[in-house]
């Protein structure tokens, strides 16, 4: 027996103010033709004035216009109708210029004769929800407060969908903007494709639409393969079909979408006013199937992809806040956990890696423990970060279910920059790590993995759908000794930097993730020996930084292996520089010397004569020439680096005696130069040179300091900004600003969670 049949109203108290307002606005739009736009909101109610009056939903009586319509959600602790008259009077005062002649109030509390208005309270709203299948479809939050009991038994008996799973979703589901578009497209075209990363609610959207449809007498069938759809398809019955790769399994099956794409022509022709299909898929197979239909049959009978494709990502702040609210509400949390959510809701909602599934997991797993321990904000932030980044069991199963080529591509992506990478770079990594039998083109593999593991960004670059996918692949690779060694022996620099990385993972716990055994270190050393002859200065700097950070974080178990690798790398680089006899970048040399100083056994110093000869100024030094000043800056930097780490080399070059004359010439020129004529960037270059010479003790420190101070006194006339005249904002923009939900995102989150 439903709650309505038992005489009990639905549990509108559980919705909170924002969801209740949205329910009432949709109800009025459907049954009283009140526009969803133009509403004004304050802290106690949202309201609008309808010039021609409104027909009271469920009564068929038109109120005299203009009619003030307001929605008031009262907290359960408030007495029935407490303060409702005061709220109406206050709201009327705000609309006095529109001269309302009647008032319609919708509220979650019981209506009262003492209120001077037409009031639709909890019982009246329950009857209206129960009598409107369209409202239940458009505002499925009502399914979680009692309306799910309206499921038609005969339709449920004939269905093959997982009704229990759909019912379990009802108390926590939030109809996002993506949901609204799905419903609109489904009603127009009878067919919709939901795309987007895992854990963002595609399956939840499909199942919720199925549950709402069951309350209207539609059958609902979940299908993994097209043949299952055809086996259940019946003309003369209203049927909703849901095609989702995830049903019955947490595995990701790239080939499943292709089966539906091949059947797309026939499937689309079968969809009509009594048959609907929701397909969760990557966009590429759907687009390919649709293009084939358009080529063969034209486009007049079939929608273009943009008309039916809905991306389930891009949650806004209000949607995230409501998702957290509904999960916390449904979890029946202890009081201290509720207070923790209220106090720190923005920390959770504002996290960049928010997904509905991870919020569910956080609320059900860690929240109660954190609240019981009176966790600090730092502990809460760490726990949220861990929960929102850690791979889920479903993700692990999905990865393990992939074919060898798909796994190989994801592993190869670890050997590229963590930033989005281009197709050429990814293809090169795949060739390095591909083995016999992996003959598929990387582009084809990326296409199959897009939206589940990978996503495409501007320009066609590829990156991970979510950082936790990268963490998962690293963990899987780290756990397989043979794959680790194979990866290290084939890697370019990015893969080896990953092996040497520290403070990775969710909480910074991942340290040297691919270097567990002697053969791992041997493989990394062998591969670095192959790469070092080709590495340019920036890549050498990246390598030196990684080795230094690994050394700082190493323990006794890894220090010996790391020192041996460090000495090997530094020795190889020094021999390369000595052999090439080319100038060495000062920054790279400084990194080399710092690392060498940390080695228990210092490697031989590289031959630096070529670098010195390239930079050392001559007696013909021209202060007025920009290039000469830049070279002088590089030379003094080299002198300072060598003075700190290898003074014997500096002495061998005859510094500073042999360069005393040119140094004094530089200082004299800086003292007498027309500094105002120099560009600001060039003046800024001179000051560190003078300070450097002073520190090296090769010139009078007072003269150098005075010259530097003279540089500091030069002031440039600031450029005046362009002045733009202020323009009046349009009436449309003013209406949008006045109708704004809140003054800030954080305030919205606070207000939503206050209703827990």
Looking at residue 510, the DSSP 8-state letter turns out to be: B
CB neighbour list of residue 694: distance below 8 Å, 6 or more residues apart: 701, 704, 705
CB–CB of 46/88 below 8 Å?
Answer: no
Under DSSP, is residue 319 helix (H, G, I), strand (E, B) or coil? helix
Tens-digit pLDDT profile for residues 555-577: 877 888 999 999 999 999 999 99
Report the distance separating Cα 76 and Cα 263, nearest Å: 52
CB neighbour list of residue 717: distance below 8 Å, 6 or more residues apart: none
Chain-centre distance of CA 88, in angstroms? 42
Report the distance separating Cα 109 and Cα 117, nearest Å: 14
Tens-digit pLDDT profile for residues 86-95: 888 888 888 9
Report the distance separating Cα 90 and Cα 70, nearest Å: 11
Could you tell me whether strands 191-195 and 275-280 are parallel, antiparallel, or unpaired per DSSP bridges?
A: parallel
Query: What burial class does residue 676 get, using C-beta atoms within 10 Å of its C-beta: 0-12 exposed, 13-18 middle, 19+ buried?
Result: exposed
pLDDT of residue 621: 67
**Domain locations in the chain?**
12-133, 151-311, 480-598, 609-712
Report the distance separating Cα 13 and Cα 327, nearest Å: 15
Beta bridge partners of 240: 220, 276
Tell me which residue of 261, 263, 254 sits closest to 289, measured CA to CA.
261
Report the distance separating Cα 413 and Cα 420, nearest Å: 10
Query: How many Cα atoms occupy the beta-carbon half-sphere of 66 within 13 Å?
Result: 14
Question: Does the domain at residues 151-311 carry the CATH identifier 3.40.50?
Answer: yes
Place of tokens 């109610």: 45
Report the distance separating Cα 401 and Cα 397, nearest Å: 6
**Which backbone phi and psi does 50 adopt, to 5 degrees?**
-100, 115
pLDDT of residue 448: 74
Chain-centre distance of CA 752, in angstroms? 22
CB neighbour list of residue 584: distance below 8 Å, 6 or more residues apart: 537, 577, 606, 608, 610, 611
pLDDT of residue 80: 46
Report the distance separating Cα 709 and Cα 687, nearest Å: 8
Instruction: For residue 223, give Cα distances in angstroms to 26, 102, 158, 212, 511.
Output: 31, 52, 14, 18, 44
CB–CB of 605/646 below 8 Å?
Answer: yes
Q: Where are the alpha helices (DSSP H) in 607-739?
A: 609-615, 626-645, 647-652, 660-672, 680-696, 701-712, 731-738
Tell me which residue of 19, 281, 307 sits closest to 182, measured CA to CA.
307
Report the distance separating Cα 144 and Cα 204, nearest Å: 13
- Residues shown for the chain: 756
CB neighbour list of residue 384: distance below 8 Å, 6 or more residues apart: 347, 348, 351, 362
Instruction: For residue 258, give Cα distances in angstroms to 245, 255, 261.
Output: 11, 5, 5
Under DSSP, is residue 198 helix (H, G, I), strand (E, B) or coil? coil
Q: Is the peptide bond before 361 cis (omega within 30 degrees of 0)?
A: no
Looking at residue 148, the DSSP 8-state letter turns out to be: G
pLDDT of residue 131: 94
Identify the H or E element spanning 8. none
Segments of the chain with pLDDT less than 70? 1-7, 77-82, 111-115, 197-199, 245-258, 282-313, 374-375, 377, 386-394, 435-440, 451, 505-508, 620-621, 714-743
Report the distance separating Cα 119 and Cα 105, nearest Å: 5
For the four alpha carbons of 465, 467, 470 and 472, in that order, the dihedral sign comes to negative
pLDDT of residue 721: 45
Place of tokens 């399956």: 203
CB–CB of 328/307 below 8 Å?
Answer: no
Q: Is the pTM of this model over 0.75?
A: no
Looking at residue 451, the DSSP 8-state letter turns out to be: T
Q: Where are the alpha helices (DSSP H) in 414-517?
A: 423-433, 442-449, 467-478, 481-490, 493-499
Under DSSP, is residue 503 helix (H, G, I), strand (E, B) or coil? coil
Structure tokens at 324: 């957290």
Report the distance separating Cα 152 and Cα 533, nearest Å: 73
């Amino acid at each position: 027996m439903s709650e309505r049949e038992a005489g009990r109203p639905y549990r509108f108290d559980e919705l909170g103010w924002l969801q209740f307002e949205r329910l009432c606005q949709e109800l009025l739009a459907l049954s009283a033709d009140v526009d969803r736009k133009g509403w004004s909101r304050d802290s106690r109610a949202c309201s609008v004035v309808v010039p021609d009056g409104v027909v009271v939903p469920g009564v068929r009586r038109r109120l005299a216009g203009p009619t003030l319509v307001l929605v008031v959600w009262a907290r359960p602790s408030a007495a029935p109708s407490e303060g409702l008259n005061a709220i109406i009077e206050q709201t009327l005062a705000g609309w006095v210029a529109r001269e309302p002649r009647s008032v319609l109030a919708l509220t979650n509390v019981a209506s009262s004769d003492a209120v001077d208005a037409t009031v639709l309270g909890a019982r009246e709203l329950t009857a209206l929800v129960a009598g409107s299948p369209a409202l239940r479809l458009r505002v499925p939050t009502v399914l979680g407060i009692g309306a799910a009991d309206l499921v038609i038994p005969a339709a449920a008996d004939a269905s093959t969908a997982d009704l229990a799973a759909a019912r379990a979703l009802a108390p926590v589901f939030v109809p996002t903007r993506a949901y609204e578009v799905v419903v609109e497209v489904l009603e127009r075209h009878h067919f919709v494709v939901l795309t987007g990363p895992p854990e963002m609610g595609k399956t939840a959207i499909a199942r919720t639409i199925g549950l709402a449809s069951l309350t209207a007498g539609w059958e609902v069938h979940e299908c993994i393969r097209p043949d299952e759809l055809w086996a259940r398809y019946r003309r003369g019955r209203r049927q909703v079909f849901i095609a989702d790769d995830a049903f019955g399994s947490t595995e990701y099956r790239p080939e499943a979408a292709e089966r539906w794409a091949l059947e797309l022509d026939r499937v689309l022709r079968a969809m009509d006013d009594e048959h609907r299909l929701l397909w969760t898929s990557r966009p590429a197979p759907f687009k390919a199937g649709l293009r084939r239909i358009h080529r063969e049959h034209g486009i007049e009978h079939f929608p273009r992809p943009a008309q039916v494709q809905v991306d389930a990502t891009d949650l806004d702040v209000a949607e995230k806040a409501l998702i957290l609210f509904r999960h916390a509400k449904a979890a029946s949390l202890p009081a201290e956990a509720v207070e923790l959510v209220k106090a720190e809701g923005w920390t959770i909602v504002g996290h960049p890696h928010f997904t509905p599934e991870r919020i569910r997991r956080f609320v059900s797993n860690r929240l109660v423990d954190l609240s019981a321990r009176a966790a600090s904000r730092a502990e809460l932030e760490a726990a949220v970060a861990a929960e929102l980044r850690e791979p889920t069991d479903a993700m692990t199963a999905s990865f393990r279910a992939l074919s060898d080529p798909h796994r190989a591509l994801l592993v190869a992506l670890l050997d590229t920059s963590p930033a989005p990478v281009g197709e050429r770079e990814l293809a090169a990594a795949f060739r390095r790590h591909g083995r016999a039998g992996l003959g598929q083109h990387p582009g084809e593999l990326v296409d199959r993995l897009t939206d589940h593991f990978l996503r495409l960004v501007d320009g066609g670059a590829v990156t991970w759908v979510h950082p936790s996918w990268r963490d998962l692949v690293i963990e899987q690779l780290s756990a397989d000794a043979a794959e680790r060694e194979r990866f290290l022996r084939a890697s370019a620099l990015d893969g080896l930097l990953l092996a040497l990385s520290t403070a990775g993972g969710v909480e910074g716990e991942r340290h040297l993730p691919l270097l567990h055994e002697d053969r791992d270190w041997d493989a990394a050393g062998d591969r670095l020996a192959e790469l070092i002859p080709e590495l340019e200065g920036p890549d050498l700097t990246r390598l030196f930084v990684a080795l230094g950070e690994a050394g700082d974080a190493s323990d006794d178990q890894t220090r010996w292996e790391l020192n041996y690798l460090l000495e090997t790398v530094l020795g190889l680089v020094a021999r390369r520089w000595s052999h090439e006899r080319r100038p060495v970048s000062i920054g790279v040399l400084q990194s080399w010397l710092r690392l060498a100083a940390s080695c228990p056994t210092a490697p031989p110093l590289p031959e630096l004569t070529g670098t010195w000869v390239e930079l050392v100024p001559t007696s013909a030094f021209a202060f007025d020439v920009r290039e000469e000043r830049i070279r002088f800056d590089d030379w003094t930097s080299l002198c300072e680096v060598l003075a700190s780490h290898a003074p014997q080399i500096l002495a061998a070059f005859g510094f500073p005696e042999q360069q005393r004359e040119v140094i004094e010439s530089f200082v004299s020129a800086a003292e007498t130069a027309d500094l105002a004529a120099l560009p600001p960037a060039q003046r800024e270059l001179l000051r560190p040179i003078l300070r450097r010479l002073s520190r090296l003790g090769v010139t009078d420190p007072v003269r150098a300091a005075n010259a530097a101070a003279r540089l500091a006194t030069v002031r440039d006339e600031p450029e005046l900004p362009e002045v733009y005249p202020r323009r009046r904002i349009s009436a449309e923009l003013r209406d949008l600003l006045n109708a704004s939900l809140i003054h800030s995102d954080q305030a919205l989150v606070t207000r939503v969670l206050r209703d827990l």
